[in-house]
């Protein structure tokens, strides 16, 4: 349906729709979400057929099994996506929240009140679930969204978006609230990034290349994030056995995501005991290691099959796989220094029994999420009680860490006087 | 001193200094602010001499009297600037504020805590007071700042920054916390805007051209703002006499600033009575008017000396002078529509006795500040109780309206567990 529309038309329609959607009450937004969920389910055959075509085209093009898996929908996955969408109706609607209220000495009454951001543009890669997740969170927070998925998943996205727009029929929400750029020409992304007249926020969800491209080319504010070189520092006083379990969780529970662990820093006084135990435990899970010289020396000979010397860029690599960097440090200060140099400021933690070291670490490490005695895997909107997440920000403006519904809003000041003038 | 440094060196130094400044306690930041204030006063002769040289160069170059006035310092103006700086010591330090704290069902303790933004870059034009204002607010909020003033004021800025840096000697705060780009080559601004590795936020303070340039060329998030096409709508039920005084205040109290009024919209049922009264009252203050046809017809003949027909772009012009647009509208809905089309979303208001119309206006108008029965001139950090302001944002991300110390911060999540793992 939107195939023939220009980027500017799509954006202008979105902005017009945003003017309406901002004022739709919660009950009606929730009803629309339920209608979309119903429609997605009733169109499951078309959606799964479109997805199957995407999958076979991708397979023919020789993409990796991991990518294929992310791309693939089946009835049960679609059902989960729909369940997640219905769950969004249960989240609190942030729009209208009163953030601050005060009466000034001159009698003016000030209210600072949440309003939707306006129009979001989300640029993402292979996963078709993002299409539905983002549509749901945008709609609930009163925002229109322009979706630009990867070309591998274009048939799935067209089918999903068509169902979403049909779901909106008969509701107060115009179909233009959720639009897909259904032409996969890459030049259109560049065009989209110039539409600052209509679009308020760009959220790239993908690799470093996509984020850099957006930051370099966008006239619209960009949320950068989703890249995590994450660290855990094992202090002298840490419970070693429990620390190994935390590291194991952070590394292997889901190695392909941004909050998975990349580097373990170990206090030198326990390294000789700790490192071999760690390597033994994690090698059983098929983890391999990149160790700097001091760590390597402590492991030497014993685990040569799984431990390699760390290369010059290994501590600046987000592994996204079962690889773990190992380094011995003299103490918490050097751990903090290493993190300042190598972290992407996503998620970093200390494992310690020493309150003072924990306090120092928490004060000095300037990452979106700083942990004491916990796995880095908790940096996640659902885990942190935000209900859901649209992205994880590793930049500093507007929002840091998981972004939920609140982070898709801004505010306005409402000021009431009695024909008040400034002296 | 910093004249020979490259932009990258300045930025790298700032980032290193930010790592220290973020942890300096409030008392010591306040002591440093007082030391800077003392130093500025003790170097007043050098500062005023440098300023005099700027002024005479500017006069020779033929800049306007208004610009000359903004540029000029004298002992009393410098004293006011120093008093404002000392006042910053009395403002609450936002760093370390606990924004949220919760215990998750799994026992993790989450704290969301304010931290400084990091490194700010402020790009501004003729006013030397901005140099000191920005330095003070940046330092108090734990941020380093890179200042880039206009070439007209370069000698004043060099003298002010040298005094500021000398004021920091013997404090815990490195001189690199406040740096001036003292080469006025315009290419350096472009270079600065690429330094996203070191700089966290760019704040342009100047005309539309500067803002557009920054938005188009920056890899660093930019705070856009400071441009206000501001409206007041006079509803049918408004107290006309008091409305005229509010309009007069909004227009003439300080016409050259962004929250000054640009357009008056008048309900058609009162326009025949109201418009001539308004024009008569404001003409006495040397205001001139641009009226669309219906307004013009109601004023016809009576005030031809001060009322002109509105040209096609007059309602999209920020006047910054004693010019006021006039338009008759059928009612509040059309007023809202006009504002949606022409406002820069800075400050817009309604004058009314009708609660329902006020509520409609407040809900529908999506500006940083929306007024009921008050002058638009209150959109100001000091007036709104934020203590001070570094800029007025008219964009939606991060902050809207006046930005005080809080708006120069971000936050981090601190998460404490007991060797907690994600299931």
B260/A contact by beta carbon, under 8 A: no
- CA separation (Å) from B421 to A160, A246, A266, A277? 35, 6, 19, 19
A412/B contact by beta carbon, under 8 A: yes
Residue A63, min C-alpha distance to chain B (Å) = 30
Q: What angle do CA B213, B217, B218 make, to 5 degrees?
A: 110
- Are A396 and B419 inside 8 Å of each other by CB? no
Which residue in chain A has the smallest CA separation from B105? A385
> How many Cα neighbours within 13 Å face the side chain of A169?
8
Q: A-B interface: how many C-beta pairs under 8 angstroms?
A: 203
Token readout for B149 is: 């003033």
- CA separation (Å) from B180 to B14, B150, B155, B183, B198? 11, 11, 11, 9, 16
Q: Which of residues 379-408 of A touch B (CB under 8 A)?
A: 379, 383-385, 395-398, 400-401
Partner residue facing B108 (CB), from A102, A374, A396: A374
For an interface test with B, give the residue of A118, A218, A397 to mutate (most B CBs within 10 A): A397
Answer yes or no: are the C-beta atoms of A262 and A229 closer than 8 Å: yes
- CA separation (Å) from B245 to A40, B229, B260, B375? 57, 19, 14, 9
DSSP sequence for A328-369: EESSHHHHHHHHHHH--SSEEEEE-S-HHHHHHHHHH---SE
- CA separation (Å) from A149 to A18, A55, A126? 21, 15, 7
Number of CB atoms found within 10 A of residue B148's CB: 22
Answer yes or no: are the C-beta atoms of A262 and A228 closer than 8 Å: yes
Q: Which of A376, A368, A411 is nearest to A253 (CA)?
A: A376
Strands of the sheet with B347-351, listed across from one edge: A98-103, A109-116, A409-420, B369-374, B347-351, B230-234, B261-267, B323-329, B288-291, B307-309
- Are A415 and B243 inside 8 Å of each other by CB? no
- Are B378 and A216 inside 8 Å of each other by CB? no
Token readout for B412 is: 């981090």
Tell whether the torsion through CA atoms of B234, B238, B244 and B245 is positive or negative.
Answer: negative
Point out the residues of chain B with pLDDT beneath 50.
1-2
Query: Rounded to an integer, what distance in angstroms lies between the CA atom of residue A102 and that of residue A97?
Result: 15
Q: In a 10 Å sphere around its CB, with 0-12 CB exposed, 13-18 middle and 19+ buried, how is residue A256 labelled? A: exposed
- The average confidence (pLDDT) of chain A is 95
B25/A contact by beta carbon, under 8 A: no
> By three-state DSSP, how is residue A26 classified?
helix
Residue A311, min C-alpha distance to chain B (Å) = 23
Query: Rounded to an integer, what distance in angstroms lies between the CA atom of residue B291 and that of residue B307?
Result: 7
- Are B384 and A414 inside 8 Å of each other by CB? no
Answer yes or no: are the C-beta atoms of B282 and B248 closer than 8 Å: yes
Query: Rounded to an integer, what distance in angstroms lies between the CA atom of residue A37 and that of residue B303?
Result: 62
Query: So what's the pLDDT on residue B226?
Result: 81
> By three-state DSSP, how is residue B196 classified?
coil
Residue B207, min C-alpha distance to chain A (Å) = 17
Partner residue facing A417 (CB), from B364, B373, B395: B373
- DSSP single-letter state for residue A1: -
- CA separation (Å) from A138 to A89, A179, B340, B390? 12, 12, 22, 31
- Are B383 and A418 inside 8 Å of each other by CB? no
Answer yes or no: are the C-beta atoms of B111 and B100 closer than 8 Å: yes
Residues of B in contact with A108 (CB under 8 A): 374, 378
Residues of B in contact with A412 (CB under 8 A): 366-370, 400-401
> Given phi > 0 = left and psi -120 to 50 = alpha, else beta, which region is A263?
beta
Partner residue facing B246 (CB), from A411, A415, A421: A421
Which residue in chain B has the smallest CA separation from A223? B221
A302/B contact by beta carbon, under 8 A: no
The model's pLDDT over A259-288, given as tens digits with 9 standing for 90+, comes to 999 999 999 999 999 999 999 999 999 999
Which residue in chain A has the smallest CA separation from B349? A415
Query: Rounded to an integer, what distance in angstroms lies between the CA atom of residue B268 and that of residue B297?
Result: 12
- Which CATH entry fits the domain spanning A230-383: 3.40.309.10, 3.40.470.10, 1.10.10.10, 2.60.120.380? 3.40.309.10
Answer yes or no: are the C-beta atoms of B378 and B369 closer than 8 Å: yes
pLDDT per residue, tens digit, chain A (423 aa), is 445 799 999 999 999 999 999 999 999 999 999 999 999 999 999 999 999 999 999 999 999 888 898 899 999 999 999 999 999 999 999 999 999 999 999 999 999 999 999 999 999 987 899 999 999 999 999 999 999 999 999 999 999 999 999 999 999 999 999 999 998 888 999 999 999 999 999 999 988 889 999 999 999 999 988 889 999 999 999 999 999 999 999 999 999 889 999 999 999 999 999 999 999 999 999 999 999 999 999 997 666 789 999 999 999 999 999 999 999 999 999 999 999 999 999 999 999 999 999 999 999 999 999 999 999 999 999 899 888 899 999 999 999 999 999 999 999 999 999 999 999
Residue entry with tokens 């929250």: B259
Query: So what's the pLDDT on residue B303?
Result: 67
Q: What is the C-alpha R_g of chain B?
A: 24
- DSSP single-letter state for residue A176: G
- Are A201 and B396 inside 8 Å of each other by CB? yes
- Are A417 and B371 inside 8 Å of each other by CB? yes
Query: What does residue B24 show for φ and ψ, rounded to 5 degrees?
Result: -80, 130
Residue B46, min C-alpha distance to chain A (Å) = 35
CATH topology of domain A2-224+398-416: Aldehyde Dehydrogenase; Chain A, domain 1 (3.40.605)
Partner residue facing B246 (CB), from A245, A362, A419: A419
Query: Rounded to an integer, what distance in angstroms lies between the CA atom of residue B287 and that of residue A331?
Result: 69
Number of CB atoms found within 10 A of residue A207's CB: 14
- Are A374 and B221 inside 8 Å of each other by CB? no
Residue A159, min C-alpha distance to chain B (Å) = 32
Query: So what's the pLDDT on residue B4?
Result: 73
- Torsion on CA atoms B206, B212, B216, B218, rounded to nearest 10: 20
- CA separation (Å) from A45 to A79, A160, A179, B393? 12, 11, 21, 48
The model's pLDDT over A15-52, given as tens digits with 9 standing for 90+, comes to 999 999 999 999 999 999 999 999 999 999 999 999 99
What kind and span of H or E run contains A222? Answer: none
A344/B contact by beta carbon, under 8 A: no
> Given phi > 0 = left and psi -120 to 50 = alpha, else beta, which region is A385?
left
- Are B413 and A118 inside 8 Å of each other by CB? no
Domain range annotation of chain B: 2-224+398-416, 230-380
Answer yes or no: are the C-beta atoms of B112 and B98 closer than 8 Å: yes
Query: Rounded to an integer, what distance in angstroms lies between the CA atom of residue B346 and that of residue B366?
Result: 9
What's the complex ipTM?
0.94
Residue entry with tokens 């009921």: B372
Residues of B in contact with A413 (CB under 8 A): 368-370, 379, 384, 400-401
pTM of the full predicted structure?
Answer: 0.94
Q: Which of B243, B194, B203, B246 is nearest to B226 (CA)?
A: B203
DSSP sequence for A82-148: HHHHHHHTTSPP-TT-EEEEEE-TTS-EEEEEEEE--EEEEEE-S-THHHHHHHHHHHHTT-EEEEE
Query: Rounded to an integer, what distance in angstroms lies between the CA atom of residue A375 and that of residue A370?
Result: 10
Q: Which of A123, A166, A164, A117 is nearest to A146 (CA)?
A: A123
- Are B368 and A118 inside 8 Å of each other by CB? no
Cβ density class A278-317: b for 16+ within 10 Å, e for less: bbeebbeeebbbbbbebbbebbeeebeebbeebeeebbeb
B341/A contact by beta carbon, under 8 A: no
Query: Rounded to an integer, what distance in angstroms lies between the CA atom of residue A411 and that of residue A116?
Result: 8
Residues of A in contact with B368 (CB under 8 A): 412-413
> By three-state DSSP, how is residue B340 classified?
helix
A75/B contact by beta carbon, under 8 A: no
Answer yes or no: are the C-beta atoms of A262 and A317 closer than 8 Å: yes
- Are A374 and B118 inside 8 Å of each other by CB? no
Domain B230-380 class, CATH top level: alpha beta
Query: So what's the pLDDT on residue A301?
Result: 66
- CA separation (Å) from A146 to A8, A168, A214, A227, B385? 11, 15, 15, 23, 37
Which residue in chain B has the smallest CA separation from A212? B219
Q: Which of A279, A280, A285, A284 is nearest to A264 (CA)?
A: A279
Token readout for B40 is: 């500025």
């Amino acid at each position: 349906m939107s195939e023939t529309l220009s980027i500017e038309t799509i954006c202008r329609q979105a902005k017009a729709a945003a003017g309406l959607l901002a004022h739709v009450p919660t009950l009606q937004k929730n009803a629309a979400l339920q209608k979309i969920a119903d429609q997605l389910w009733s169109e499951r055959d078309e959606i799964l057929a479109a997805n199957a075509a995407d999958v076979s085209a991708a397979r023919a093009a020789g993409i990796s099994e991991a990518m294929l898996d992310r791309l693939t929908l089946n009835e049960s996955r679609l059902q989960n996506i729909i369940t997640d969408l219905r769950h969004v109706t249960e989240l609190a609607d942030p729009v209208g929240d009163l953030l601050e209220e005060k009466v000034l000495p001159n009698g003016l009454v000030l209210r600072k009140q949440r309003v939707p951001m306006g129009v979001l543009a989300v640029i993402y890669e292979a996963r078709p679930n993002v299409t539905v997740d983002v549509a749901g969170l945008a709609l609930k927070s009163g925002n229109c969204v322009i979706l630009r998925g990867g070309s591998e998943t274009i048939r799935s996205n067209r089918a999903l978006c068509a169902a979403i727009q049909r779901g909106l029929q008969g509701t107060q929400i115009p179909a233009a609230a959720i639009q897909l750029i259904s032409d996969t020409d890459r030049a259109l992304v560049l065009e989209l990034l110039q539409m600052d007249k209509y679009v308020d926020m760009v959220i790239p969800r993908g690799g470093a290349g996509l984020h850099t491209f957006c930051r370099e080319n966008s006239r619209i504010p960009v949320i950068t994030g989703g890249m995590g070189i994450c660290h855990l520092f094992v202090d002298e006083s840490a419970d070693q056995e429990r620390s190994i379990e935390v590291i194991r969780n952070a590394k292997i529970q889901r190695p392909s995501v941004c909050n998975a662990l990349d580097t373990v820093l170990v206090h030198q006084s326990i390294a000789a005991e700790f490192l071999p135990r760690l390597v033994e435990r994690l090698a059983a899970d098929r983890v391999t290691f990149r160790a700097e010289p001091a760590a390597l020396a402590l492991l030497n000979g014993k685990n040569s099959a799984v431990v390699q010397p760390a290369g010059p860029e290994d501590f600046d690599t987000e592994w996204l796989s079962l690889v773990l960097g190992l380094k011995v440090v003299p103490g918490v200060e050097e751990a903090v220094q290493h993190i300042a140099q190598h972290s992407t400021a996503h998620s970093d933690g200390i494992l310690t029994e020493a309150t003072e070291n924990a306090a120092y670490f928490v004060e000095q490490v300037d990452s979106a999420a700083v942990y004491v005695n916990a796995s880095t895997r908790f940096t996640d909107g659902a885990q942190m009680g935000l209900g859901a997440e649209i992205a994880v920000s590793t930049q500093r403006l507007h929002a840091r860490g998981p972004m939920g519904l609140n982070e898709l809003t801004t505010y306005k000041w409402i000021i009431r006087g009695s024909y008040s003038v400034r002296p």
